[in-house]
Structure formats: structure tokens, C-alpha cells
Structure 1
Amino acid sequence: MRIAMVSEHASPLAALGGVDAGGQNVHVAALATALAEEGHVVEVYTRRDRVDLPERVTMHDGVDVIHVPAGPPEPLPKDELPPFMPAFGRWLARRWSEEGAPDVVHSHFWMSGLAVLEATRTVRVPVVHTYHALGSVKRRYQGAADTSPPTRIRDERTIGRSVDLVVATCSDEFGELRRLGVPVSRLRVVPCGVDVEHFTPGPPHDAAAGAAGAADPGGTAGPAGPRRLPHRLLTIGRLVPRKGVATIVEALPAVPTAELVVAGGPPRHEIDTDPEVRRLTALAEDLGVADRVTFLGSVPHDDMPALIREADVVVATPWYEPFGIVPLEAAACGRPVVGAAVGGLLDSVADGVTGVLVPPQNPTALADALVPLLQDRERRSRFGTAARRRAVDLFSWTTVAAGTLAAYEAAAYPAMYPALKEASA
């Protein structure tokens, strides 16, 4: 197939770690690459945000990234981009009218959906859409702190009712989309994926280094430095309140054998200037655990597997999470996850099999889950083995690409899918 992906603010070429760069960039890049490796041709359309960007960049054999002129050629917060989506869509329509339309277009995020709806007003192309995050969920949890444009929820509802097929990334999102009025017959669930060849269990850590760390906390060194206590907890993500790092800090007094390593945010040499780090440091000082919390700042992608393998448990306790890539990366590395029972973690963490799920924003429940797990190395090892197996079976990019391709075929050839054809009538 000739596949067009539209990812208006999240270029697959973008470096990770910026305010508006993260999981969607990884998802689009990895999915496009996996589809190309299966013989498909993929063009990814993203907004030009620098004057010196060439129109076309080859990212991988079979994958080109095309920079679309829509709005000023400079970085802008994504919440400021909606006014430029009509121009983005008209540019796509002209390009596809001149060079031929793709077999299917896959829009990523709600603003990409608006651009694609504009484009397909004049050039008919089957449309598959992935939201990556929903404004209704964001508004529910952030309230007045939500900076999304006021039309976002209305526009998301329009997109879901207009495209040929919506790919939800988890069962929780599927339910939310049903409540928004998206017909069930137009919904598919295809999860996000993880690179199971980059994120691997590697050399054993729990049995050997973990025991060494208990006897000699200074003897275990790696990306996060030597251990100071018998057990190491790791959390990874953007340093924003909704990621719930405060919940982990608040649990630490009840988990006396563990230190906490926090990866994410600005580079390490700038970490002390970050407002969330300052807030979390003050909290840790008030609770008497500041000496057990280390902020690493941003960590290079190549170092991430080793960082994860150093941990006994990876902890992910967001207030809400559209999907969450870190639990998959931990699973692929053979590490158990203790996570909040929200959003995508309800699918990515098999409670009692690959990790433990706890209520969000509940440090007592978190500590109650962590203490017995840290005390039971055999259970951690069993969880880690099951997590790796599940990551390979369900969340490899090969598996995710196959599920996505099936969605494309359902949208492109509705005669083969009666329920979808009836919903589109």
C-alpha cells in the first residue's frame, strides 16, 4: 500500500525530550518503519517548523518525511497550531491532486485529523485516525489547568464521526470514544508498540547485581550511578505534575530499603532549574527522603535499556495516561511494573502477572504494593519473565504494524467489511 501519515506537530525526525516531543514522535517513526519493512511505501507529513528544513527527508528505506508549509516556519506550542490546520489540509489536497492520492491516510492527534478532513473534502482518500490523547480526558483531570483550545472536544467528536475508522490504543480509550459517540463499528484497538530488539533483558541484574547491591550498596554502577540502598525504583517521563512522581516520593517513607531514580526533564546540568524538580525536591525534604531521590534529567535513548535493567521495579503512577510507553519498555527489559490503574496501563500491565496495579494518587497503596514485591526477588523475576514474553507477543512493532495494516485494509476496502460499510452509509 501507499500510506500517508499526518502528524502535524510530532515529527518522527524530532529529538525527544522537548515539551511537545514524546511518545507520538516515537510511535509514528516506529510504525512507519515497521510498515516499510513489510514492503509498504510511507510518507509522513508534518508541519515545517524551521526555515532551513528541506521539503522531503528520507528517514528510512521506504519512509519519507515531508515538511508542510502551514503557519510560520518556527517552533510553536501545539495548542497554537489549530488555526493553521486548514492551510495544512489544502496543501495536502493540492499535493495529492497533482501526484496521486495515497491508498489510505492515517492522521495522528486531533489537529492532524482536522487537516485531513479538510484535505479529503476535495480528494477522496480512506481515513484512519488515532487520537493519542483525548481532550475529554485531559479536561476531566486537569480542569482549569487544561490549555487545550476550547473547540478541541467538539472537534474530536466530529473527527470520530467523520473518518472511516478510528484506531484506539487501549480499551480505556475505546470506552471513552464510545461515550463521545463514535460508532463501535468504526472502532478498532491496536496498542502502541515497543522496540523489543532495543529494549531487552540483557545480562541478569536482580539475582547477581541486586544481591551485590544489598551487601554493598556502593558496588552497583551504571547510567544512574552506584546504588546506595538494597533496592532501586525507577520512574521515567516528563516532569509534569500529572505524571505522579509526587505519589512515589510520598510513598518512600514507607519503603525504607529503596532509593528512587527519576529520569526525564531537561539535561542534567539544568535539572536544578526545573520547577517540577524544585517542587519534588522540597516535598522529599519535608518527608525526610531527599537523600534517597536522584534526578537524572534527560537520558539518551541508547542508554535507556541499561537504566531500566538497573532497577528492581519500574514505577509509573500518572493521574491519567492515554497509553504510556514506559511500562512497555520496562516489560521488554524484563522488569516488573508497579503502576496506576489508569488508561493504557490497564492493558500494558497484567496485574499479578507482569506487575501490580494500584489506585492513582494513593501513596499508601503504592507502598503496600512495593514493599512485598521488593522483598521477594523470585516474584520479581517471575513477573519480569512474563512481562518480556508478553511484550514480544503483544506489543512488538511487527505485531502493532500488522494490526494497523488490518485497520487500513478495512478502511480502504469496506466492501470486505460489511459492518464498516453499513456504518459509513
Structure 2
Amino acid sequence: MSRILLLSWEYPPLLVGGLGRHVHALAGALAAAGHEVTVVTRQAPGAPPVEHVEGVRVIRAAEDPPAVDVTGGNLLGWTLAFNHALTRAALRAARGHRYDLVHAHDWLVAHTAVTLRDHLDVPLVATIHATESGRHQGWLPAAHNRTIDDVERWLCAEADRVIVCSEYMRAEVIRLFGVPAERTEVVHNGVDALRWRARPRAVAAARERYAGSDGPLVSLAGRLVYEKGVQHLLAAEPLLRERFPGLRMVIAGDGPYRAELERLAGPAVTFAGFLTGHDLTALMAASDCYVVPSIYEPFGMVALEAAAAGTPVAVAATGGLAEIVEDRVTGVKFPPGDPEALAGAVAGVLADRDHARALAWRARQRVVDDYNWPSIAARTAAVYDSTRPPGSSLLANEPKFLLSGRPGMPMAVPVG
């Protein structure tokens, strides 16, 4: 069994997106399998700086004062300060403890990860959940976007193994960062199917709150950013209401794109804000169709969560979504960025309830059989076992801080 140090910029109760839920579930499943797991993460208001929960030791690093403002989406200043705090907390956590491996989740913890790899003299595994290039459809508009791309490349070069969540992402990190194919591993995200079964009373309450008395309920949950494609769902809403006049639509989540999306929305659309726990589960289970209209989606865990809730899903045929949803078997697909096709796919689900129930049943069985967390944890542990000792990486003879080589780009340096 391994002694694992996991690094993540979000972890319950502080959640921003799917990454924090992934790390939380993975840590618990690894601990349940007998591994010794320590998570070092960001301090959440009201959360203790150190605690043992679900078999996992959790260390939370308070942000350095003064707080660093994030303007124009530029996280770099905040990230450097955060990595200083995270590194100190991780080094304190290492006193009196031995670790076999450091596992970093995304670029926001890259500096701490490399510092700990060198300080502890252990292998480094990195999970790349998404890329800056992918989030911007290949266009890196500002200097900070290009620097994030460089840090992602640096983290991939330093890691003994790079884990990705889909074959789509595997191809992306190989193409963008030149990671040798033999150092990449596909380990799908997992879902706790029991966690997503809502209580009947909660489902009824969600239905009463959000659905009209004479029409179906369509929902979406996620961070409100351009690449999630919510604008295409809103463009499809009038087309759906032509066929289903009583249709209601709920958008759950928050983000920088929310105000613009609210301006695009019709009167039948409700913006529910950021929902968690039973509220989100109940909304999914109360819906007649759950839609994932993403333009860019490395995996699409939310589609599996909706399936676990027993709801038929309609997804854009892009990225990991195209891999995890089998068209007309476990859900329906439509071309990304096409509101008319989206409306047609959703209408097919809403019009044929027997077909919709069959889709939902098969999808939930697929989640239970193929995406359960014990299996995902076992696959992750197998990646740990495959890591080489420090110094034997395929890139061991290359400069440690080799980035893209673009002139004028700031170099990434480990902190500590």
C-alpha cells in the first residue's frame, strides 16, 4: 500500500467545480482501499486547518496576507502566493511522515508539487483535468493564458506519469505538451451512484419549485463560462417551447458569464445559482432531461452524475462526453454549438417517455458497473505502482524548466 500526498486547490467544503469533488472521492476511495492519504489544499472559511475525515488526513493552508486580487481572469499573482502557502503547509505535514509519492491536480499546484518532489525525493504523478488551450478552443488571448499553458507543459514534463480522464485528453496532452505516450495514463473519473439518488420528497419539492404544471423540466448545472455552451441551450429554448409550450428550464451554477447568459434567457428560464448536495441531486432527479451542451469537455462527469440520479441525458458529442455516452443507448448526442440539433435531441427524449426511461436505466447501470470509485482508485493506484524512481524520467536529461520557448514569456520557478 502507498503513502500518498495529494495536492489540490479545492477540496470540500471549498468547491469551485468538478476537480474538488474528484479529489475528495479519490482520496476517500484510496483510503478505503488501505492507502495512507494526506490531502494538502486551500483553507476554507470555518474549516479546521487539520482534520482526519473519511480516513483521510486533510491539511488546509491559509492564504498569505494581504489577499491577492484577481482581475481580468489573471490568476497568476494569486497562484504564486497560494503555492507559497501550500508549500509551507505541505512541508509541515511531512514532518514525522514518510510519503511514497506526490500526486498533483492541475497547474494551480505545480510549483508546490515540483518542490515537494525534490524535497521528499519521491515520484510525481500529475492529473491534468483540462488545459488552458482547450478551454479557449486553441486560442491563448493574453500573456497570462500563455503562461498557464507553459506551466501545464512544465508540470507534464516534470511528472513521472501524467493521468488524464479520457482518450480525448490523452491525445490533447500528447499534442500540446509533447508528453510521450508511454507516460500518459487514462483513468476515468468516478461517480458514487448512491450519493446521487435523491429522496422522493426532495424530488417532489424540486419539481414543485422549478417545473410548470403543464410541461417538462430541462436542467443544466455547471460553471457559467463560455466553454460550457450554456448559450446554445438558451438559444434552443424557444425551439423547444414551440413544441412543449409549458417547458421550464433551470440553469444551476455561477461564473463570470452569468450576467450575459441572463440577458439571453427567456422568461421560462430560472437561474438557480450554485447548488450543492441534496439540492443539486434533487434538481437532476426532478428533470425530464439533463443537458450538457459543452464546447470543450475533457470528461463530462456531470453527465454521469445526472445518469446516477436516474435522469436521461443529452450531451454534445465532444471531448470525453463523446466517449462516455453511447448515442441512443445511454443518452442522446448532438453536434456541439448547434442549437437546432440540441433542440431536436432533447425533444426526442421529452416526446418518448418510454425511450427516455430506458436510456436512464441503462445509463445508471453503466455508471454502477464502469465508473464506481473503488475501481477508479484501483486504476489510480496501479499508475502509482508504475512510476519510476526519481531521476529516471524520460525527460531526466532535459532542462528542468524547459517551457515553450516563446520569447518574452516569464519562466516558471518552484517556490518554497
Please tell me the TM-score bracket, short chain as reference: 0.7 to 0.9
One-letter amino acid matched to 1:112:
V
One-letter amino acid matched to 2:132:
G
* 1:278–1:161 distance in 2 versus 1, CA, 3 Å: closer
**Structure 1 residue 279 corresponds to structure 2 residue 272:** no
CA distance in 1 between partners of 2:68 and 2:366 (Å):
38
One-letter amino acid matched to 2:327:
D
**Structure 1 residue 131 corresponds to structure 2 residue 146:** no
The equivalent residue for 1:106 is 103
The equivalent residue for 1:270 is none
Residue from 4, 20, 26 that aligns with 1:25: 20
Once the 2 structures are TM-superposed, how far is the Cα of residue 109 of structure 1 from its aligned partner?
Answer: 1.0
1:233-287 superposed Cα distances (whole Å, 9 cap, x missing partner): 1111123333222211211232221624324235xxxxxxx98555334434xxx
**Structure 1 residue 400 corresponds to structure 2 residue 396:** no
One-letter amino acid matched to 2:25:
A
Residue from 30, 39, 44 that aligns with 2:34: 39
CA distance in 1 between partners of 2:166 and 2:69 (Å):
29
Residue from 239, 246, 249 that aligns with 1:254: 239
**Structure 2 residue runs without a partner (length 5+):** 398-416
One-letter amino acid matched to 2:59:
I
**Structure 1 residue 264 corresponds to structure 2 residue 252:** yes
One-letter amino acid matched to 1:57:
E
Once the 2 structures are TM-superposed, how far is the Cα of residue 26 of structure 1 from its aligned partner?
Answer: 0.8
Once the 2 structures are TM-superposed, how far is the Cα of residue 141 of structure 1 from its aligned partner?
Answer: 5.5
SS of 1:81's partner is helix
The equivalent residue for 2:363 is 387
- Asked if 1 retains the 8 angstrom alpha-carbon contact of 2:225 and 2:256, the reply is no
The equivalent residue for 1:64 is 57
The equivalent residue for 1:81 is 78
Residue from 151, 155, 168 that aligns with 1:159: 155
Once the 2 structures are TM-superposed, how far is the Cα of residue 133 of structure 1 from its aligned partner?
Answer: 1.5
CA distance in 2 between partners of 1:24 and 1:295 (Å):
23
Once the 2 structures are TM-superposed, how far is the Cα of residue 313 of structure 1 from its aligned partner?
Answer: 1.1
SS of 1:198's partner is helix
Once the 2 structures are TM-superposed, how far is the Cα of residue 291 of structure 1 from its aligned partner?
Answer: 3.5
After TM superposition, the structure 1 stretch with the greater mean CA deviation from structure 2, 163-172 or 244-253, is 244-253
Pairs within 5 Å for 1:203-214: none
CA distance in 2 between partners of 1:147 and 1:376 (Å):
49
CA distance in 2 between partners of 1:298 and 1:89 (Å):
26
* 1:409–1:303 distance in 2 versus 1, CA, 3 Å: same
Residue from 331, 335, 344 that aligns with 1:355: 331
Residue from 162, 181, 187 that aligns with 2:178: 181
The equivalent residue for 1:287 is none
The equivalent residue for 1:200 is 197
Higher relative contact order (CA 8 A, sep 6+): 2
* 1:141–1:116 distance in 2 versus 1, CA, 3 Å: same
* 1:73–1:404 distance in 2 versus 1, CA, 3 Å: farther
CA distance in 2 between partners of 1:49 and 1:333 (Å):
28
Sequence identity percentage: 34
CA distance in 2 between partners of 1:122 and 1:28 (Å):
23
Residue from 316, 331, 339 that aligns with 2:292: 316
CA distance in 2 between partners of 1:314 and 1:147 (Å):
37
SS of 1:120's partner is helix
Once the 2 structures are TM-superposed, how far is the Cα of residue 61 of structure 1 from its aligned partner?
Answer: 3.7
* 1:79–1:413 distance in 2 versus 1, CA, 3 Å: closer
The equivalent residue for 2:10 is 10
Residue from 219, 222, 225 that aligns with 1:240: 225
Pairwise CA RMSD of aligned residues? Answer: 3.2
1:404-425 superposed Cα distances (whole Å, 9 cap, x missing partner): 11111112679xxxxx987879
1:368-393 superposed Cα distances (whole Å, 9 cap, x missing partner): 22222222112111111110011111
Once the 2 structures are TM-superposed, how far is the Cα of residue 99 of structure 1 from its aligned partner?
Answer: 2.4
* 1:355–1:398 distance in 2 versus 1, CA, 3 Å: same
Once the 2 structures are TM-superposed, how far is the Cα of residue 80 of structure 1 from its aligned partner?
Answer: 3.2
One-letter amino acid matched to 2:191:
V
Q: Give the structure-1-normalised TM-score.
A: 0.81
CA distance in 1 between partners of 2:342 and 2:3 (Å):
47
One-letter amino acid matched to 1:158:
W
CA distance in 2 between partners of 1:191 and 1:223 (Å):
35
After TM superposition, the structure 1 stretch with the greater mean CA deviation from structure 2, 159-168 or 367-376, is 367-376
**Structure 1 residue runs without a partner (length 5+):** 204-208, 210-218, 267-273, 285-289, 415-419
CA distance in 1 between partners of 2:157 and 2:164 (Å):
14
CA distance in 2 between partners of 1:275 and 1:185 (Å):
38
CA distance in 1 between partners of 2:62 and 2:213 (Å):
52
The equivalent residue for 2:312 is 336
How many residue pairs were aligned?
A: 387
